[in-house]
């Protein structure tokens, strides 16, 4: 399927002027929003999203999508969606990574160029997709950033964004139907950027924040081309009593929703609302804690996971994934997808899944073995996680010897194994709270299973770094020459010595006469002289 994707994209870095919102063709629509979530630890998460909808037939023609200063050209269109992200997967932060589909590896470099990152694939070839797939660039370090300059993108100031403890960028492109019968298609481009500001470094331990303190900018004007331009601030209080935090200026409206199973309240600032900016020519949203929260760890999510390589030495190893279900009484299934490069030769018979000390049989396993240099292992299974348990999934592998040209230029760094992907319907916190039953309509008790009882999560575990047996590349030529010489010189002689016995042959004495005499003696049947 990966190979069947005929979508090839080119990136051209256009040096001309133009900004994220200034260079939109008139037919397009642009919506932008910023969500700010103060985390209980004092850190602040900010998620930007720019969504461009573009009414054009991408399949027919080669077209340009303008992405700020970089442009993507689709030369061979197809209606398959695609997306990429450069995200260091981190378990401890409750942030959405990308949630994308399948896409070929040649795109990585393309998109990395677009995202100004330096990425590398962990596997030489991507795997065919299973039930879920994982297009996260495992090792992406960002290089630089050029953005410009109206609406929310004013806040994207590089030196502030890199003083953060978490950073994730993603691009998604997907077709959307223009009408109900889907006779024509528009394209939607979604660009997201999530950062988490470190309270320890930026706030000197204080938990109050403002836009200016975080970005060293304030919002001055809406993007003239944006049809929607909003800032959401999560003002949900973690404690029962309200009034622990205060936002300034006071929001015009608030918005409530159930996000990832918990009820959230957001203050909304609409930049298109002229009153919002005109008052003071700028908007600097501030948050103050009336009673600073305790320095507590963030609430543990119901599902989280950890992955590591166990064992030592360069011959064998074990991949272990720990799946935590912290829900007090509900079990739920998880779909676990592992794509392991071929040079880790998995022993599938060693696959063990244990929860609470007992073997846990997965209800579904799909395994596709690797082919050397062609495709990686694909292992997918559906595992039921018992309530309040840790499930350990482990599988042993042997480290393969690569051909010496197959090593990367930095072989001693190790080889990356891409994260496993967990997809699950997690019981939501809302449904777990009995309080809600009191407040909800009475008919809820007739149809107790509501939509809010579960929510979908896709988690990426950490990528792994595995060392393979690596030759000493500083002297292969010397070593090859030396060993070949030694073998060539010694082998023949030793083989001779070991396989033959040597006898001293008496030198032939006597000439013709003796030989004649012997001939005669032989004819007579007498031993020769």
Partner 1 sequence: MGLLSDPVRRRALARLVLRLNAPLCVLSYVAGIAWFLALVFPPLTQRTYMSENAMGSTMVEEQFAGGDRARAFARDFAAHRKKSGALPVAWLERTMRSVGLEVYTQSFSRKLPFPDETHERYMVSGTNVYGILRAPRAASTESLVLTVPCGSDSTNSQAVGLLLALAAHFRGQIYWAKDIVFLVTEHDLLGTEAWLEAYHDVNVTGMQSSPLQGRAGAIQAAVALELSSDVVTSLDVAVEGLNGQLPNLDLLNLFQTFCQKGGLLCTLQGKLQPEDWTSLDGPLQGLQTLLLMVLRQASGRPHGSHGLFLRYRVEALTLRGINSFRQYKYDLVAVGKALEGMFRKLNHLLERLHQSFFLYLLPGLSRFVSIGLYMPAVGFLLLVLGLKALELWMQLHEAGMGLEEPGGAPGPSVPLPPSQGVGLASLVAPLLISQAMGLALYVLPVLGQHVATQHFPVAEAEAVVLTLLAIYAAGLALPHNTHRTQAPDRGWMALKLVALIYLALQLGCIALTNFSLGFLLATTMVPTAALAKPHGPRTLYAALLVLTSPAATLLGSLFLWRELQEAPLSLAEGWQLFLAALAQGVLEHHTYGALLFPLLSLGLYPCWLLFWNVLFWK
Assigned token pair, 261? 């199973």
Beta partners for 259? 262
In the complex with partner 1, which residue's Cβ is closer, 268 or 309? 309
Nearest-angstrom CA–CA distance, 160 and 181: 46
Least distance to partner 1, CB of residue 396, Å: 12
Exposed (0-12), middle (13-18) or buried (19+): which is 5, by Cβ within 10 Å?
A: middle
For residue 486, give the H/E element and its range.
Answer: helix 476-499
In the complex with partner 1, which residue's Cβ is closer, 74 or 87? 87
10 Å Cβ neighbour count for 129?
18
DSSP state of 212: H
Contacting partner 1 (CB under 8 A), which of 99, 318, 430, 458? 318
In the complex with partner 1, which residue's Cβ is closer, 141 or 254? 141
Nearest-angstrom CA–CA distance, 439 and 434: 9
Nearest-angstrom CA–CA distance, 169 and 68: 14
308 part of the interface to partner 1, by CB under 8 A: yes
Least distance to partner 1, CB of residue 299, Å: 16
Of 85-93, 186-194, 234-242, 365-373, the segment contacting partner 1 by CB under 8 A is 85-93
Least distance to partner 1, CB of residue 7, Å: 27
In the complex with partner 1, which residue's Cβ is closer, 187 or 215? 215
Nearest-angstrom CA–CA distance, 178 and 489: 78
Span 163-182, contacts to partner 1 by CB under 8 A: 163-167
Helix, strand, coil percent values for the chain (each to nearest 5):
15, 35, 45
Least distance to partner 1, CB of residue 46, Å: 14
Total chain residues near partner 1 (CB under 8 A): 51
x/- contact string, 36-75, with partner 1 (CB under 8 A)?
A: ----------------------------------------
Q: Minimal CA–CA distance to 346: which of 333, 364, 365, 322?
A: 365
Contacting partner 1 (CB under 8 A), which of 503, 506, 524, 525? 503
| Cβ atoms of residues 113 and 11 within 8 Å | yes
139 part of the interface to partner 1, by CB under 8 A: yes
Q: Minimal CA–CA distance to 222: which of 160, 266, 281?
A: 281
Contacting partner 1 (CB under 8 A), which of 350, 412, 440, 483? 412
Q: Minimal CA–CA distance to 340: which of 140, 124, 141?
A: 124
Least distance to partner 1, CB of residue 279, Å: 35
Nearest-angstrom CA–CA distance, 219 and 151: 7
Span 451-490, contacts to partner 1 by CB under 8 A: 462-467, 470, 474, 489-490
Contacting partner 1 (CB under 8 A), which of 312, 329, 443, 477? 312
Nearest-angstrom CA–CA distance, 374 and 371: 5
Least distance to partner 1, CB of residue 465, Å: 5
Binding site for partner 1 (CB under 8 A): 88-90, 92, 138-139, 141-142, 162-167, 198, 200-201, 295, 306, 308-312, 318, 320, 410-414, 416, 462-467, 470, 474, 489-490, 492-494, 496-497, 500, 502-504
């Amino acid at each position: 399927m990966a190979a069947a994707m005929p979508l090839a994209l080119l990136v051209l870095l256009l040096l001309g002027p133009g900004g994220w919102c200034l260079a939109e063709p008139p037919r397009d629509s642009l919506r932008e929003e910023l969500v700010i979530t103060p985390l209980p630890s004092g850190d602040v998460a900010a998620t930007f999203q720019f969504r461009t909808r573009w009414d054009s037939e991408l399949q027919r023609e080669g077209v340009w999508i303008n992405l700020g200063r970089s442009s993507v050209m689709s030369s061979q269109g197809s209606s398959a969606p695609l997306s990429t992200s450069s995200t260091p997967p981190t378990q401890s932060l409750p942030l959405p990574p990308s949630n994308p589909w399948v896409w070929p590896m040649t795109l990585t470099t393309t998109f990395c160029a677009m995202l100004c990152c330096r990425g590398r694939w962990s596997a030489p070839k991507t795997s065919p997709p299973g039930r879920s797939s994982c297009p996260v660039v495992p090792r992406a370090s960002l290089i630089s950033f050029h953005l410009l300059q109206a609406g929310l993108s004013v806040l994207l100031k590089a030196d502030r964004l890199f003083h953060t403890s978490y950073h994730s960028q993603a691009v998604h492109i997907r077709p959307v139907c223009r009408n109900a019968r889907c006779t024509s298609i528009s394209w939607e481009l979604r660009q997201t950027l999530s950062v988490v500001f470190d309270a320890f470094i930026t706030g000197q331990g204080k938990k109050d924040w403002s836009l200016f303190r975080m970005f060293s900018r304030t919002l001055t004007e809406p993007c003239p081309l944006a049809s929607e331009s909003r800032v959401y601030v999560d003002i949900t209080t973690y404690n029962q009593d309200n009034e622990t935090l205060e936002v300034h200026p006071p929001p015009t409206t608030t918005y409530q929703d159930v996000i990832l199973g918990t009820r959230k309240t957001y203050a909304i600032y609409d930049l298109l609302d002229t009153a919002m900016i005109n008052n003071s020519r700028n908007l600097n949203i501030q948050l103050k804690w009336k009673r600073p929260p305790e320095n507590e760890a963030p609430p543990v999510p119901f599902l989280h996971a950890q992955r590591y390589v166990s064992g030592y030495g360069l011959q064998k190893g074990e991949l272990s994934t720990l799946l935590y279900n912290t829900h007090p009484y509900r079990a739920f299934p998880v779909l676990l997808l592992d794509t392991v490069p071929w040079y880790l030769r998995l022993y599938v018979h060693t696959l063990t899944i244990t929860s609470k000390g007992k073997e846990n049989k997965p209800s579904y396993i799909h395994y596709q073995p690797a082919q050397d240099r062609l495709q990686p292992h694909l292992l997918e299974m559906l595992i039921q996680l018992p309530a309040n348990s840790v499930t350990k999934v482990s599988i042993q592998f042997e480290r393969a010897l690569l051909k010496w040209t197959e090593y990367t230029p930095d072989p001693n760094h190790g080889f990356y194994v891409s994260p496993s992907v967990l997809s699950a319907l997690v019981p939501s916190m809302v449904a777990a709270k009995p309080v809600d039953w009191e407040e909800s309509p009475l008919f809820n008790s007739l149809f107790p299973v509501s939509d809010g009882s579960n929510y979908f999560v896709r988690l990426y575990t950490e990528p792994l770094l595995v060392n393979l047996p690596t030759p000493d590349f500083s002297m292969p030529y010397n070593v090859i020459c030396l060993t070949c010489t030694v073998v060539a010189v010694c082998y023949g002689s030793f083989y001779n010595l070991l396989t033959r016995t040597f006898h001293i042959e008496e030198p032939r004495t006597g000439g013709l006469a003796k030989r004649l005499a012997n001939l005669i003696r032989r004819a007579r049947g007498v031993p020769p002289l």
